[in-house]
Structure 1
Amino acid sequence: MGLTSAELIDLVLDAGTWTSWDTPPSYGEIPEAYAADLARARERAGTDESVVTGEARIAGRRVAVVLSEFRFLAGSIGRASAERLIAAVERATREGLPLLAGPASGGTRMQEGTPAFVQMVRIAEAVTRHKAAGLPYLVYLRHPTTGGVMASWGSLGHVTVAEPAALLGFLGPKVYEVLNGRPFPSGVQVAENLFAHGLVDGVVPPDELAGLVDRVLGILALRPPAGRAASASERVETNTVPSSTDPTVSVSTRSAAGGLAARPADVDTWDAITRSRRTDRPGARALLRIAAADVVPLNGTGQGERDPGLIIALARFGSAPCLVLAQDRREQAHQPLGPEGLREAQRGMKLAAGLGLPVVTVIDTPGAALSPEAENGGIAGEIARTLGALVNVETPTLSLMLGEGNGGGALAFLPADRVVAAQHAWLSPLPPEGASAIVHGDSDHAAEMAEAQRVLAVDLQRIGVVDRIVVESPDAADEPEAFCRRVGTVLEDELLALLTSGPGEPTARAARYAG
């Protein structure tokens, strides 16, 4: 067994801030044997039930907390503990508090049977309603968490992390062995394996949990007040007038004064493509490391998939919070972006909308995976679904063209309320060599094809696809820190404007591609 609920309270919460919300449990008429079990459990655990609830502060922020006490009948959920848990979730929702859950349970209390089992429906509904109110629900899966608890409030987090080496799964291994006459395979129901399969966002020691919660809540605290609706005129203006006109920072379609901003020197198409492919060019990881703060990496679809070619993270650029969906050029050199990564991006969009955060997509890809596995995984359909999700997501969106932009894998990350591009970024239906092969039967005409197809950021700016271009002086690879900081400044500027105006309409997002 891991830490008790009392030990976790002492370790994670600000000292002296814990206030219990619990009232004495009520059981009604119960068998004497069960009453004796409860008495022994109270003595052993030092709590009056398997769940303790209350509020406290983490890094000074008020937080509602629900924790299992495994020493009380293996943390099992009966009707009394379910009532306590539901009451705490509903109070957190009423009071507008973020909710931190720390389950450690074997599941439903067998002494109460099905009447206890069906309480998971009510618990799941209460948690879902809390999330629907735009309030954070953070889950720390402790050792062990199985059964109905894992299949309800343990698996509904906006952000879910797990205790190292924790036993986590649906069916307890002892039950499996009794039912099947053989032990459950080792290494499956363990936190680290769940992370490898994209089922949890991280594996975090208890003494690092407070810092993680602080970063998440710090990002979310920067959101504008709920219910701030933008008018149609505000949304149109955000799509046409950037707020920065400094040509050392970015090149914009129009300056705030209404005139055209200065443009960079003419860019040779093939030279830009060559520069974008430099192995030392800063990618999304460098951008997050240099220009972002309070980065909280997330992981996977939550449904058994993850793609190392996609970075999904909560972050802030200056005072602007966001959820980042970034194509990772380093990982894609070994494993191209596959259907799993696109499904992971879709999870990120839903998460951002649920939390009221803008989405920042980062395009930097040599192309989506071209393989039998990708085809069997439905990559074409996932590109289509990602496009549809990004066009329709009900939260502000910003696309950053950072480098290479090959094919449907790049296009899926493009449609947004605002589009920013690095000076040497580009977008093409195929790698120029591929386009040359189709038209000329060889790759010798790649530079010619790239020029003819108008793939550069500056070409896309002329037709209204790109709003702002971030200058490279002369090449991002030669000035990685300065370049990333310039990009970060532009992203903060754009995000703050989007947070004021609100999300654009899907038709407006799509209209920019008509011209």
Structure 2
Amino acid sequence: MTTQEEVRHLTAAELIDVVLDAGSFASWDRTVVDPEPSDAYRADLAKARAKAGTDESVLTGEGLIRGSRVAIVVSEFAFLAGSIGLSAADRIVEAIERATREGLPVLAGPASGGTRMQEGTLAFLSMVKITAAVRAHRAAGHPYLVYLRHPTTGGVMASWGSLGHVTVAEPGALLGFLGPRVYEALYGKKFPENVQVSENLFNQGLIDAVVPPEQLPEIVHRALTILTRRASAPVTAPDTLNVRPADAGAWASIQISRNPRRPDLRQLLAYGAHDVLPLNGTGEGEKDPGLMLAMARFGQQSCIVLGHIRPRPSQDTKMGPGSLREARRGMRLAEELGIPLLTVIDTAGAALSKEAEEGGMAGEIARSLHELIGLKSATVSVLLGQGAGGGALALLPADRTIAAQHSWLSPLPPEGASAIVHRSTEFAPAMSEAQGVNVASLYANGIVDHIVDERPDAAEEGRAFCERLAGAIEYELSELAAVPVEELLPRRVARYHSLGR
């Protein structure tokens, strides 16, 4: 593919046929009432209807995706470049409001140049009421999913195209605020190439994935399986509830936790979770390789997952401030969608650099703690391996904490603590014992509730260990599901209020 024009893009009707189960679509569209047009605009509308074969620039309705009922709002670009006038805006708002009333998820598929210029400022302001409808839908706890199609620009990209809980895009799609032709007309030069394309938006952490239309049903199915199918049956208590801290000392556990072959969050999701849907970045133009964000199910228990990932060889993935901004996106998703949050802690420490300081690392840790301690969703944290400093603390507060036997938690890596106290790193082993960083101390002090055994080292039995840990996660999520959030919040605060007493 050398240019975007060489690819034929699906019409609204074709996209509906590709995404929805065969024969399941039912239109919600009412007869369009046009605003009082000029003769020229009346002629434009007549030509658009003849060309597109639709009465407006959007089609709305409902259908099934892998058996799940979904509301759908899809742009028809052939109708005046998919532009949004008053009638199109009314159609979108009515569809989203109906989906909200009926408790349906919405899949939006915009492809639009933005506001309809023939209708001017009133059409421009209609983006406000569309955004209000999306906000009400999200506030009611219903999923709003977006598939950005070629091209999506202007007011559409700046409103209902950028508000998805999950946002994916068509390969090679032109996506941006200002259309390149407008930019060239205004500034007399071409807009830089390969900026306003879906793949670059993914690289910048603005969208979650780039997928062709035929793969969209699978993405939507996984998202809805996680977000809308809630387990009701209790989970059998796992054997790990009987596990007690290992006999190994703190320094031994620290050395075990640093084994590069030790399983991390990626392996936990691969071996222990189902219907995993990775998310990407903050959605605000930032991503950090030190953190992973996803939706997933452990057994029948759905959750938002966020956690540290271990660096691959030759990588530096220490957690920067962008990681915590991405983490707070996950926290907001859990709270808004009404599903639990799982945090996974495995870090040698937050990034120590000029960039981290100027990016507000300390403030981001504070804001993460602020969000977690008052999050209006059930929370489970997992100490998977290393737990050094503010990078670990930022993901710790939770209603229940699970720990691998050889995980640990300390204000600094023991070498750093030794350097502060003794001006040398050689006292790191003694410092780790004195500070009570290992699971035995954390369990004795009520910080850890549930221990998952290593037989004798998770690095030697990666799949089996991850399966045991997944069982423990499923159990804790299930137990919390039975407790109203209003009861969880004061318990969560009291849990940390009484430390050391």
TM-score class, shorter-chain normalisation, is over 0.9
Say if 2:296 is the partner of 1:315. yes
Alignment check: 8 A CA contact 2:231 2:300 kept: no
CA change 1:262–1:95 in 2 (3 A) is closer
Alignment check: 8 A CA contact 2:146 2:164 kept: yes
Q: TM-score, normalised by structure 1?
A: 0.93
> What is the match of residue 350 of structure 2?
368
> What is the match of residue 42 of structure 1?
49
1:357-436 aligned at under 5 Å gives the runs: 357-436=339-418
Range with bigger deviation, 99-108 or 451-460: 451-460
- Paired positions, count: 488
Q: Which AA in structure 2 matches 1:391?
A: I
Cα distance in 1, alignment partners of residues 419 and 61 from structure 2: 65
Cα distance in 2, alignment partners of residues 411 and 180 from structure 1: 48
1:160-199 aligned at under 5 Å gives the runs: 160-199=167-206
> What is the match of residue 228 of structure 1?
none
Aligned to 1:329, what secondary structure does the other structure show? coil
> What is the match of residue 271 of structure 2?
290
1:156 to 163, 172, 177: 163
Cα distance in 1, alignment partners of residues 363 and 100 from structure 2: 37
1:419-449 deviations in whole A, cap 9, x for unaligned? Answer: 0000000001001011111111111111000
Alignment check: 8 A CA contact 1:270 1:447 kept: yes
Alignment check: 8 A CA contact 1:223 1:356 kept: no
Alignment check: 8 A CA contact 2:57 2:79 kept: yes
Cα distance in 1, alignment partners of residues 227 and 479 from structure 2: 17
CA change 1:265–1:131 in 2 (3 A) is closer
- Report how far residue 508 of structure 1 moved: 2.5
Cα distance in 2, alignment partners of residues 351 and 159 from structure 1: 10
Aligned to 1:330, what secondary structure does the other structure show? coil
1:7 to 10, 14, 26: 14
> What is the match of residue 491 of structure 2?
508
- Report how far residue 34 of structure 1 moved: 0.7
Cα distance in 1, alignment partners of residues 371 and 416 from structure 2: 28
> What is the match of residue 99 of structure 1?
106
Range with bigger deviation, 206-215 or 505-514: 505-514
Say if 2:419 is the partner of 1:437. yes
Alignment check: 8 A CA contact 2:345 2:386 kept: yes
1:271-320 deviations in whole A, cap 9, x for unaligned? Answer: 11001000000000000000001000001111111111110000000000
Say if 2:347 is the partner of 1:354. no
Aligned to 2:482, what secondary structure does the other structure show? helix
Query: What's the C-alpha RMSD, in Å, of the aligned pairs?
Result: 1.5
Say if 2:191 is the partner of 1:209. no
Structure 2 residues not aligned, in runs of 5+: 1-7
Cα distance in 2, alignment partners of residues 224 and 502 from structure 1: 15
CA change 1:411–1:265 in 2 (3 A) is closer
Q: Which AA in structure 2 matches 1:221?
A: T
Deviating 4+ runs (over 6 angstroms): none
CA change 1:140–1:198 in 2 (3 A) is same
2:442 to 441, 460, 470: 460
Alignment check: 8 A CA contact 1:93 1:133 kept: yes
Say if 2:478 is the partner of 1:471. no
Say if 2:281 is the partner of 1:300. yes
CA change 1:381–1:220 in 2 (3 A) is same
> What is the match of residue 34 of structure 2?
27
Alignment check: 8 A CA contact 2:340 2:378 kept: yes
Alignment check: 8 A CA contact 2:410 2:437 kept: yes
CA change 1:507–1:500 in 2 (3 A) is closer
1:109-148 aligned at under 5 Å gives the runs: 109-148=116-155
Q: Which AA in structure 1 matches 2:271?
A: I
Cα distance in 2, alignment partners of residues 505 and 221 from structure 1: 22
Cα distance in 1, alignment partners of residues 127 and 243 from structure 2: 61
Q: Which AA in structure 2 matches 1:73?
A: L
Q: TM-score, normalised by structure 2?
A: 0.95
Q: Which AA in structure 2 matches 1:499?
A: A
- Report how far residue 507 of structure 1 moved: 4.1
Aligned to 2:468, what secondary structure does the other structure show? helix
> What is the match of residue 233 of structure 1?
none
Alignment check: 8 A CA contact 1:458 1:469 kept: no
